[in-house]
Chains A and B, each alone.
Chain A
């Protein structure tokens, strides 16, 4: 049975006297992939941050399913990578696993292998390119496997091979009862596309 994870009801967000989101409602269900798309400045990132709990809406309510823990079951990747430049790839992923109370460090090597990043395992993140940092950031998703993935423009900076790999990871996550909300500038295939004006 598919259940509702989070409900956003009549959400509005005003910043510096400008209405960024106006009376918006959204239900995020299990086993669903959502793509919130729109032009620059339409409030996509702000909406994602509201769902993540980083930003408080000016008006409206957010309800979550009692079986859904807003601290443990969400994984958010914004425009920044969420990686420490001074640490190696392995140390960053190890930290992410430990913080999520997951001790299975063997997953790190296998995931890096899949993304052809294993040779960078002991490289400090500061020496990686933007695209490589993005990949390491996204590898955290499959390592930690929280129920709801919130990803702000996840495909930016990736080549076609990595995009296809990421899409297959997303499909696998959804088939394992997970949910995904991404933002982008246009419609995506196999996603529930929601335009934010």
Chain B
């Protein structure tokens, strides 16, 4: 079971290493969104747009991570490797969880690191940047887990990317609210523990639910 988990992780890593655009394109989109926000808000925001930059970065990460979401299972479905995972997995839920974590590690984490670095460079506030980093790590993993449920259910539909984004976005709102609230509280010196606790609770909840829901969705989509 652990071996198949690691095998899937290593496979996804090799795929990312062989196709670097999967890592770089989301980073380019993130930097473009941040740049355009900065250009449009510079000089128009009371108190300076640096105060809302971490929230902008958080939102940008959410939107960019949504772009990749439909590729979570779609490519495996189209090339037939998903059949093998469904048939030969000792525990399908573990294999699917491995796919989600691999997707998050190799396409979202680089995004998070760039987001942290960008915020630190533009605001020079290490404490807020660290809270941004931690909230993004927790939040984006939760987003990936939520996305995996919807991606599995919409697998067999053509053009499922738009449908997936439409369904996932409302589900991401609580994560966005609490993620940005934690950063805001940190920036004004207030306690952010309850927001972080809520984010962590959501993560644990979806860590338990998502593999089972995704397994159901994948089996139905292949049927």
Genuine A/B complex? yes
Contact at A99–B84, with CB atoms within 8 Å? yes
How many residues from B make CB contacts under 8 Å with A? 25
Give the chain B neighbours of A82 by CB distance below 8 A. Answer: 79-81, 83-84
Contact at A87–B18, with CB atoms within 8 Å? yes
Q: Is B185's CB within 8 Å of the partner chain A?
A: no
Contact of B223 among A54, A78, A84 (CB under 8 A): A54
State whether A83 and B87 are in contact (beta carbons under 8 Å apart), knowing that A54-B222, A54-B223, A91-B14 are contacts in the complex.
no
Contact at A99–B7, with CB atoms within 8 Å? yes
Q: Is B19's CB within 8 Å of the partner chain A?
A: yes
Q: In the complex, which residues 44-89 of chain B have their Cβ closer than 8 Å to any Cβ of chain A?
A: 75, 78-81, 83-84, 86-89
Contact of B83 among A56, A78, A98, A101 (CB under 8 A): A78
Contact at A99–B222, with CB atoms within 8 Å? no
Contact at A81–B80, with CB atoms within 8 Å? yes
Q: Is B3's CB within 8 Å of the partner chain A?
A: yes
Question: How many angstroms between the C-alpha atoms of A77 and B4 in the bound complex?
Answer: 19
Q: Is A192's CB within 8 Å of the partner chain B?
A: no
- For A15, the closest partner residue in chain B by CB is B223
Contact at B222–A84, with CB atoms within 8 Å? no
Binds B, one of A33-41, A68-76, A164-172: A68-76
User: Please, what's the 1-or-0 string for B14-57, where 1 marks a CB less than 8 Å from any CB in chain A?
Assistant: 11001100000000000000000000000000000000000000
Count A-B contacts at CB 8 Å.
77
Contact at A85–B87, with CB atoms within 8 Å? no
- Interface hub of A76, A77, A88, A99 (most chain B Cβ within 10 A): A99
Q: Is A80's CB within 8 Å of the partner chain B?
A: yes
* Interface residues of B, Cβ cutoff 8 Å to A: 3-4, 7-8, 10-11, 14-15, 18-19, 75, 78-81, 83-84, 86-90, 219, 222-223
25 contacting pairs across A/B (C-beta < 8 A): A52-B83, A52-B87, A55-B222, A71-B90, A72-B90, A74-B88, A76-B87, A77-B80, A80-B80, A80-B83, A81-B80, A82-B84, A84-B81, A85-B79, A86-B14, A86-B18, A86-B19, A87-B14, A87-B15, A95-B7, A95-B10, A96-B84, A98-B7, A98-B10, A99-B84
